[in-house]
Structure 1
Amino acid sequence: MIKINSVNWIDLKNGKIEMRDVEIPSEADAVIDGAGKYMMPGLVDMHTHISPLSAKHYLASGVTSVRNTGGNYELIQMVDDMAPNTYATYRFIDGDPGLWGPTSYGTVSTNDMDTAVEAVEELHAQGAKFIKVYGNIQADVLEAVVEKGEALGLEVAADLLHTKSIDAMKAAEYGVKWLEHASSIIQHLFPGYHTQLSDEDFAAIAGKPMDEDKLKGLLLYLMENEVKIVPTLTLYRHLAEGRVFNPPELDASRQMKLLGSDEMLSIDAQFRSIDDQISRELRKRQKWEYEQVKWITEKYLEMGGEVYIGTDAPAGTWVYPGFSMVEELNAFRDFGLDNFEILKKATIEAKKVIGENEGYILLNSNPIERLENILEIDTVFVAGKAFTWDEIAEHQVDGDGMREVFESLEAKYN
């Protein structure tokens, strides 16, 4: 048992801070002086892609649980103890041609219902908690995936950002329960819209106002069908604006320095390579999508729809594992939520979905005053273990072992 004495406990259920002693079940016995410090449940990133290389960076920013929305079973099994709890799916199911190419260690690209159903069975055997489908999936395949998923107790989550045929209404009709990135809602509101439109056709659609009555009708239908959305606003914003952080001082944080100095992860090089290829026209489109998704999210929250907080790290550009949760939390301030409400959504509400995985963070500053104070990590408690900031920063993964597994997967699928 670990005991933290006289700590300022942030009671997110009741919206108050009270000084008290806190006990955490642990394989170790320790007493920590919590005087002057703040403690709360750890954050949950509800849309991300964890890897052995990125795992510690979630803890470094106070994220103690993740909902992994696509990846590879064998690689995720290599994540060591210096990591958040993981509520995962693995290979996602796309159409053929796949948006990320043919079937590989990360995707099953098929227009064949039997092959897709076999992929669902594989996920179930691996212990996946849900199924993820992608933007080129065909309608009959999606229906078969949902039917098999329901039989096995697995909900279907859909990333339909690039779909040309399945809008949010159809997805809900088929039984999809999660719209990642709040995707395919725009396609319903602006018929004919898709991400491959010509500049001229995009300008014509973007020049039209959103039909508020149509939006309300759709959102009511999604609520009736218990559809949840994860808007990943920070992803849209960085694609539109580039390397601009919210708030700007996050760029000087020790978490950013740690990410930048991690030579095995090499995430900044990845982001720069992508960012250099983003045209002015694409940024314009991303800005338009960002504004639409913000409005959709605000209305769904107002109506009582289920909205969860996630980042899609490390997708796109400048969306970092762990660190970008703070940006996403700040984005929710635009919806009139106070910091207690935002943190409750990112902890207590999220854990109702992924299960009550125990995770807590001990902070040197009060996150209710400023959400970015979450980065003032003293100690992270997860899965019965306690890790100080220094221990997290100094941790190294088994790079050789990971390369061996990766090479074996490439050989298997190529």
Structure 2
Amino acid sequence: MLIKGSHILDIATGSYTLQDIRIEAGLFSEMGALRSRVGEQVINGDGLYMIPGLMDCHCHISANYASLFLAAGITTVRNTAGNHLLLSSIREAEAHEAVPRLITADRMIDGTPGSWGETSHGSLSTDDLEEAKEEVKRQVETGVDFIKVYSKITEEMLKEVIKESKRNHLDVSADLLGADSLDAKVAVEAGVRFLEHNSGIMQMLHPGWHMNASDDLYEPVLQPPNEEEIARVLQPLLARDTILVPTMELFKQAADYPNHRVSDRFISPSLLQVWEQTTPHVSSWRFQAIFTYTKAITRVYHQLGGTVLAGTDSPAIIFTNPGASLHRELMLLTQSGLSPYEALKSATIVPARVLNRPDLGEIKRGNHADFVLLKEDPLKHIENVSKIAIIGKGGQCYSQAELFAQAESDEKIHIDEQEFMSRWQQHLDLGMYDRLCEKYWIGTLDE
């Protein structure tokens, strides 16, 4: 395949060159003034801007809406907790197929009472140190890329999980939004590398606060954030090169509802059903307070030179559309002080480097041919990332129209997941975990 005459972005420098680019065997192979070969597919890139494929660095993907991510130019996702068997069709997909590449955790490891209830297909809730260590070992065997811990984990268990994870060369990611006994400083000093949702930092600023706290504990966070104090508490995180994934779109969407809904040409009906069940329980003023602090923390950490990644947590809470939500997250990052170029880096080259994936995130020879051809320059206005002409994944080109059509088809094919989840709730014994999943997948699960 040869793409002629597009403006190709060197994401490492922020400069464009007007040239041709050849793709062979799913990789970028040549760049320059190139002649087409006999029988070679040629795409006219005149007037288009080629950027690396985007990465949503915090989401929860499922097979029935995976192509929606790709339709938004997201060629790689960092899936922050899931189920390795439910994700098998994505993990095993060919490089060129119409689903994003997957960097993933398995079940999150939580304390008791579990933030999401008792032990299930998606989380382990335990106070037993050995059980937690065995869970890390089990996840390592499934081929996870990192370990995810959750808000109710104790400091003692956190240290054991980190110790076992490091023994297997895996980073640990933490969501501490609901933590009432841990904060970001404790987690980072124990060895946590990624703080999802900028979590644990508000507990440093306002001890006793957590996401599910009583109204009186929310009173201090309704005041404007003190950025000098934020800069002070961020120093221990900065010293350890902690990586923040703000997911501002998650909080902004909940804060703005019902006045703002991200629209798209196709929204998964199963997700709409979940969101409609969630909306009565959304407290907009609480999410507005969290959003205001998350944005201030993001701005200060970026100013201090800290690493920030673009993520959305889609499809969590309400109307955080898979794929399209990342475009708004990039806009919110620019409102937090990042330039359009810096925001674009936070979804391309920066995560590729911190996640040790040098084959992704840049348009250069030998890298996977994951790219987006845009109709307008995103370095002038970050909103231009949504003006998509063509998406490339592993050298295969897709239009948004065919990816939305694929999503509609997948919605019907992958409804088995709902049945799997309901059946899993009846089987909480850890020893049955893999046997249950495997028996279900081949359709022989006993009633």
What is the TM-score when the length of structure 1 is the normalising length? 0.90
SS of the residue corresponding to residue 85 of structure 2 reads helix
SS of the residue corresponding to residue 346 of structure 2 reads helix
Q: Tell me the equivalent position of 2:246.
A: 231
Please report how far the alpha carbon of residue 30 of structure 1 lies from its aligned counterpart in structure 2 after TM superposition. Answer: 2.0
Q: Tell me the equivalent position of 1:87.
A: 103
Residues 64 and 413, structure 2, Cα contact 8 Å, conserved in 1? no
CA RMSD of aligned residues (A): 2.2
Trace 1:7-26 onto structure 2 (pairs within 5 A).
7-26=6-25
Please report how far the alpha carbon of residue 164 of structure 1 lies from its aligned counterpart in structure 2 after TM superposition. Answer: 0.2
Please report how far the alpha carbon of residue 398 of structure 1 lies from its aligned counterpart in structure 2 after TM superposition. Answer: 5.4
| 1:172 and 2:188 correspond | yes
Please report how far the alpha carbon of residue 244 of structure 1 lies from its aligned counterpart in structure 2 after TM superposition. Answer: 4.5
Supply the distance in 2 between the matched residues of 1:135 and 1:10 (Cα, whole angstroms): 40
| 1:72 and 2:83 correspond | yes
Q: Which amino acid aligns with 2:343?
A: I
Q: Tell me the equivalent position of 1:377.
A: 388
Supply the distance in 2 between the matched residues of 1:238 and 1:318 (Cα, whole angstroms): 7
| 1:257 and 2:265 correspond | yes
Q: Tell me the equivalent position of 2:339.
A: 338
Supply the distance in 1 between the matched residues of 2:298 and 2:374 (Cα, whole angstroms): 30
SS of the residue corresponding to residue 24 of structure 1 reads strand
Supply the distance in 2 between the matched residues of 1:143 and 1:283 (Cα, whole angstroms): 35
Q: Tell me the equivalent position of 2:45.
A: 34
Q: Which amino acid aligns with 2:164?
A: K
Please report how far the alpha carbon of residue 365 of structure 1 lies from its aligned counterpart in structure 2 after TM superposition. Answer: 2.9
Supply the distance in 2 between the matched residues of 1:384 and 1:376 (Cα, whole angstroms): 20
Q: Tell me the equivalent position of 2:403.
A: 392
Please report how far the alpha carbon of residue 170 of structure 1 lies from its aligned counterpart in structure 2 after TM superposition. Answer: 0.7
Residues 178 and 229, structure 1, Cα contact 8 Å, conserved in 2? yes
Deviation string 1:317-357 (CA, Å, 9 cap, x unpaired) is 12111100110000011233322222122211121133123
Q: Which amino acid aligns with 1:151?
A: R
Q: Tell me the equivalent position of 2:138.
A: 122
Residues 26 and 394, structure 2, Cα contact 8 Å, conserved in 1? no
Please report how far the alpha carbon of residue 277 of structure 1 lies from its aligned counterpart in structure 2 after TM superposition. Answer: 2.6
Deviating more after overlay: 363-372 vs 142-151: 363-372
Q: Tell me the equivalent position of 1:273.
A: 277
Supply the distance in 2 between the matched residues of 1:201 and 1:353 (Cα, whole angstroms): 35
Supply the distance in 1 between the matched residues of 2:413 and 2:131 (Cα, whole angstroms): 31
Residues 135 and 162, structure 1, Cα contact 8 Å, conserved in 2? yes
Q: Relative to structure 1, is the Cα distance of residues 221 and 35 closer, same or farther in structure 2, using a 3 angstrom cutoff?
A: same
Supply the distance in 1 between the matched residues of 2:243 and 2:26 (Cα, whole angstroms): 36
Trace 1:15-414 onto structure 2 (pairs within 5 A).
15-26=14-25, 29-79=40-90, 80=93, 81-203=97-219, 205-206=220-221, 210=225, 212=227, 214-245=229-260, 251=263, 256-259=264-267, 262-263=268-269, 266-278=270-282, 282-354=283-355, 355=357, 356-357=359-360, 358=368, 359-395=370-406, 397=409, 402-404=414-416, 407-408=419-420, 410-412=422-424, 414=426
Gaps of 5+ in 1: none
Q: Which runs of 4+ in 1 moved over 4 A?
A: 207-214, 396-401, 403-406
Please report how far the alpha carbon of residue 376 of structure 1 lies from its aligned counterpart in structure 2 after TM superposition. Answer: 2.5
Q: Which amino acid aligns with 2:352?
A: K
Residues 131 and 149, structure 1, Cα contact 8 Å, conserved in 2? yes
Please report how far the alpha carbon of residue 215 of structure 1 lies from its aligned counterpart in structure 2 after TM superposition. Answer: 2.8
Identity rate, percent: 33
Supply the distance in 1 between the matched residues of 2:314 and 2:382 (Cα, whole angstroms): 19
Deviating more after overlay: 384-393 vs 181-190: 384-393
Please report how far the alpha carbon of residue 380 of structure 1 lies from its aligned counterpart in structure 2 after TM superposition. Answer: 1.4
Deviation string 1:2-50 (CA, Å, 9 cap, x unpaired) is 2101112123322233211012233695221111222110111110011
Supply the distance in 2 between the matched residues of 1:148 and 1:139 (Cα, whole angstroms): 14
Deviation string 1:84-108 (CA, Å, 9 cap, x unpaired) is 1111111111112111111111111
SS of the residue corresponding to residue 188 of structure 1 reads helix
Supply the distance in 2 between the matched residues of 1:119 and 1:413 (Cα, whole angstroms): 18
Q: Relative to structure 1, is the Cα distance of residues 88 and 122 closer, same or farther in structure 2, using a 3 angstrom cutoff?
A: same
Please report how far the alpha carbon of residue 196 of structure 1 lies from its aligned counterpart in structure 2 after TM superposition. Answer: 3.1
SS of the residue corresponding to residue 23 of structure 1 reads strand
Deviating more after overlay: 84-93 vs 5-14: 5-14
Residues 105 and 410, structure 1, Cα contact 8 Å, conserved in 2? no
Please report how far the alpha carbon of residue 401 of structure 1 lies from its aligned counterpart in structure 2 after TM superposition. Answer: 6.2
Q: Relative to structure 1, is the Cα distance of residues 412 and 337 closer, same or farther in structure 2, using a 3 angstrom cutoff?
A: closer
Supply the distance in 1 between the matched residues of 2:235 and 2:65 (Cα, whole angstroms): 38
Residues 146 and 171, structure 2, Cα contact 8 Å, conserved in 1? yes
Deviation string 1:374-396 (CA, Å, 9 cap, x unpaired) is 22322211123222223212215
Deviation string 1:181-223 (CA, Å, 9 cap, x unpaired) is 00010001111112333223432x3366655554333211112
Gaps of 5+ in 2: 28-39, 361-367, 427-447
Residues 72 and 105, structure 1, Cα contact 8 Å, conserved in 2? yes
Q: Relative to structure 1, is the Cα distance of residues 336 and 211 closer, same or farther in structure 2, using a 3 angstrom cutoff?
A: closer
Residues 238 and 244, structure 1, Cα contact 8 Å, conserved in 2? no
Supply the distance in 2 between the matched residues of 1:26 and 1:200 (Cα, whole angstroms): 59
Residues 189 and 210, structure 1, Cα contact 8 Å, conserved in 2? no
Residues 85 and 383, structure 1, Cα contact 8 Å, conserved in 2? no
Supply the distance in 2 between the matched residues of 1:308 and 1:102 (Cα, whole angstroms): 31
Residues 113 and 152, structure 2, Cα contact 8 Å, conserved in 1? yes
Residues 109 and 153, structure 2, Cα contact 8 Å, conserved in 1? yes
Please report how far the alpha carbon of residue 412 of structure 1 lies from its aligned counterpart in structure 2 after TM superposition. Answer: 4.8
What is the TM-score when the length of structure 2 is the normalising length? 0.83
Please report how far the alpha carbon of residue 367 of structure 1 lies from its aligned counterpart in structure 2 after TM superposition. Answer: 2.4
SS of the residue corresponding to residue 32 of structure 1 reads strand
Residues 74 and 405, structure 1, Cα contact 8 Å, conserved in 2? no
Supply the distance in 2 between the matched residues of 1:272 and 1:400 (Cα, whole angstroms): 20
Please report how far the alpha carbon of residue 404 of structure 1 lies from its aligned counterpart in structure 2 after TM superposition. Answer: 4.2
Q: Which amino acid aligns with 2:265?
A: K
